[in-house]
Structure 1
Amino acid sequence: MSAIASGLVLIDKTQGWTSHDAVARTRRLAGTRKVGHAGTLDPMATGLLILGINSSTRLLTFVVGLDKEYLATIRLGASTTTDDAEGEILVSAAPASVAAIEADAVTAGIAALTGAIEQAPSSVSAIKVDGKRAYARVRAGEDVQLPKRPVTVSEFELLSSTETDGYLDLEVRVVCSSGTYIRALARDLGEALGVGGHLTSLRRTRIGPFGIDAAQTLDELDIPSVLIGPTDAATLLFPRLDLSPEQAVDLGHGKRIDLTGTSVSEIAADSPIAAVAPGGRLVGLVTRRGSQGKTLVNFPPDEPDEPDEPDEPDEPAGVTDTAASTPDLAS
């Protein structure tokens, strides 16, 4: 089959699939090996996974760092080795202690985990410690304690709560910066309430401007019908600069262009700008240097396939939402 055009595809990942499973399936459907993903979802989690095809894998670097929205279930009353339902229970609280949790205490605990906070990632994350993944060290029997790092939880909303078999299940909605671990929020909320906590379900519903409503499952995936072309994708992410024919040629040759009097002449320096040729082709991303625009990333026509590069293993528990989750072929 002929290779499909460049663009982004929004996948609604179902439970049990790994992010690399999704990449492999899409490679077959698209007829190209140049497919990557932006931000891993563990097999337990469901929801939005963004894939790039052909030259649009170059956009994935900019997608990884966008803010994200999740729907999750936090179970209060037990802590686990992985901070989610995939792990073994470490400590269970007495049902009476769970039943005694007051609504105001839950509200206060959520408020304390909202805003700019310091968060210790789960020990089974994909973060590297001395060149080795943290989860691999845990599997080898090591005690891994990762240092806290700054993250931003802009919204942490309690949607509902249900008492179930001696536990208290909280349905929550979280909007957060890249690098935030929802498992860690569950763990820390449980610790603050003195009963332990872990994640039992997680669904990613948004990454930056891309929402789950526009996604398809892998079983129903029809790439041509949902492919977001590079120009449309880039202009969703960045301000648009419409080029003259001469500017398009100059940028394609790596030359700087004059931005004086253009719609992006006041854009903050170093902020990416989508440069679009007459006819709508994405020439590249540029940044402003004074009154000039300098090429940040070029988008040449798609090239023939190259040999496969080895994939990194997915994180075995929870969701990795950090820069460690780089696209397969866009890194």
Structure 2
Amino acid sequence: MVLLKRLECLAGEYGFFPDERPFPLFLRYSLLILDKPSGPSSHVVTKWIKEALKMDKVGHCGTLDPKVSGVLPIAIGESTKATAIIATADKEYIGTMHLHGDVSNEELEKAVKMFETVIYQRPPVRSAVSRSLRTRRVYKLEILERNGRDVKLRVVVESGTYIRKLFFDIGEFLGVGASMTSLRRVRSGVFTEDMAVSLDKFLSAARKFSESGDWSSLRELLVPLERALVNLKKVVVKDSAVNAIAYGAPVLAPGVCEVSDGIKKGDVIGVFTLKGEIVAVAKAVMDSSEIISSRRGVVAEPIRVIMERDLYPRMWKGQSQIKPEI
């Protein structure tokens, strides 16, 4: 992602580079990339993590069915404000589709290729979302191996795609029927299964932290929230603009230092500090070229403020400066 420089800005004494936050602050702006085991629901494992950390705010970014294992980002503390945008990232799965009748390799390959496109799906009855018909894109559908009627597939899809329903529909297209017998999520956005932490390993580190106050093992298992937002188009603002935005103010042109190339009006973007901290998720009011050339006006309107108030000083007119709190 190309960043266009609008102003020469230098980071001041306030704030922290995400990886260098002191642990209490790091924890509140962190993610656990969990390797969810097959069995418990996403809600249940999130509850276990919340209890282990003794924190009020913990949430999962997207959902995996109880029998499905794999990558499940868990947001901690203030990171829960970003769960909705993290959950929209594309997903990758390895699954086994069992055919209910015999089909040739040629027929199977043709069917699989047919579904590598925009498809229509209706969420299942046991779904937390509306069951209205919707479209989802299948970016990649690849046969990895076949053993008789069992077909192992690699699937890369838009967020919100139901793999069980996809396999069912392929079976209907083939005229023999099909069902999903196993599924593992191997990637969620930028997070891959080799980055994921087992539930047992996390609970052991959390127990050590709770009993002794030693957070070293726990910190090694967590990543900064900003790691999930690396592909989000962004504007970078001056230190003097940060706290106003944290209070819900719009992003104004004079406070912008850098901007991503390719931003269009209406795009969802991230607002970041000079040290790379996420301040808010916002809706662009100007495109990149307008932001670069404008001396005044609203650049973006906050959709969701993520940074806590007063981590940076108040610097807007009519307010005396206060000491930032960690």
Q: TM-score, normalised by structure 2?
A: 0.72
Choose from 214, 219, 222 the match for 1:224.
219
Which residue of structure 1 aligns with residue 85 of structure 2?
62
| Per-residue Cα deviation, 1:228-287 (whole angstroms, up to 9, x for no partner) | 2233333x1413433222222332341432167733375122323332334443322333
Opposite residue 161 of structure 1, the aligned amino acid is R
Pairing of 1:56-205 with structure 2 (within 5 A): 56-77=79-100, 93=101, 98=102, 101-128=103-130, 148-163=133-148, 168-205=149-186
The offset of 1:151, in angstroms, is 1.5
Per-residue deviation, residues 134-184 of structure 1 (Å, max 9, x unmatched): xxxxxxxxxxxx664322111110000002xxxx00000111112211111
Name the structure 2 match of 1:274.
Answer: 270
Q: Any idea what SS the aligned residue of 2:201 has?
A: coil
Deviation of the 1:60 alpha carbon: 0.7
Amino acid in structure 2 at the alignment position of 1:232? R
1:80-101 CA-to-partner distances (Å, cap 9, x unmatched) read: xxxxxxxxxxxxx5xxxx2xx2
Q: Residue 312 of structure 1 corresponds to which residue in structure 2?
A: none
In terms of fraction of residues, the more helix-rich structure is 2
The reply on whether 1:49 has 2:72 as its aligned counterpart is yes
Runs of 4+ in 1 over 4 A off after TM superposition: none
Q: For residue 124 of structure 1, report the CA deviation from its aligned partner.
A: 4.2
Match of 1:35 in 2: 58
Q: Alignment partner for residue 194 of structure 2, among 213, 233, 237?
A: 213
C-alpha distance in 2, partners of 1:197/1:287?
42
Give the whole-Å Cα distance in 2 for the aligned partners of 1:276 and 1:116.
33
**C-alpha distance in structure 2 between counterparts of 1:122 and 1:285, whole Å:** 30
Match for residue 252 of structure 1 among 243, 246, 264: 246
- The 2-side partners of 1:280 and 1:65 are apart by 21
Taking the aligned partners of 2:281 and 2:305, their CA distance within structure 1 comes to 6
Equivalents in 2 of 1:27, 1:33: separation in Å?
A: 7
Q: Which is bigger in relative contact order (C-alpha 8 A, separation at least 6)?
A: 1
TM-score if structure 1 supplies the norm length? 0.71
Give the corresponding residue for 1:16: 39
Residue 28 and residue 121 in structure 1: after superposition, are their counterparts in 2 closer, same or farther (change >3 A)? closer
Q: Do 2:246 and 2:309's aligned partners in 1 also have CA atoms closer than 8 Å?
A: no
* Change over 3 Å in CA distance of 1:43–1:273 after alignment to 2: same
2:301 to 294, 302, 308: 294
2:79–2:225 contact (8 Å) kept in structure 1: yes
* Separation in 1, partners of 2:193, 2:132: 32
Higher mean alpha-carbon deviation, 181-190 vs 285-294, is at: 285-294
The count of aligned residue pairs is 259
- Counterparts of 2:257 and 2:274, CA distance in 1: 18
- Please say if residues 189 and 228 of structure 2, whose CA atoms lie closer than 8 Å, have aligned partners that are also in contact: no
When the two chains are superposed, the root-mean-square deviation of aligned CA atoms in Å is 2.5
Matched, 1:285 2:257: no
Report the residue type matching 2:119 in the other structure. I
Cα distance in 2 between the residues matched to 1:244 and 1:125: 43
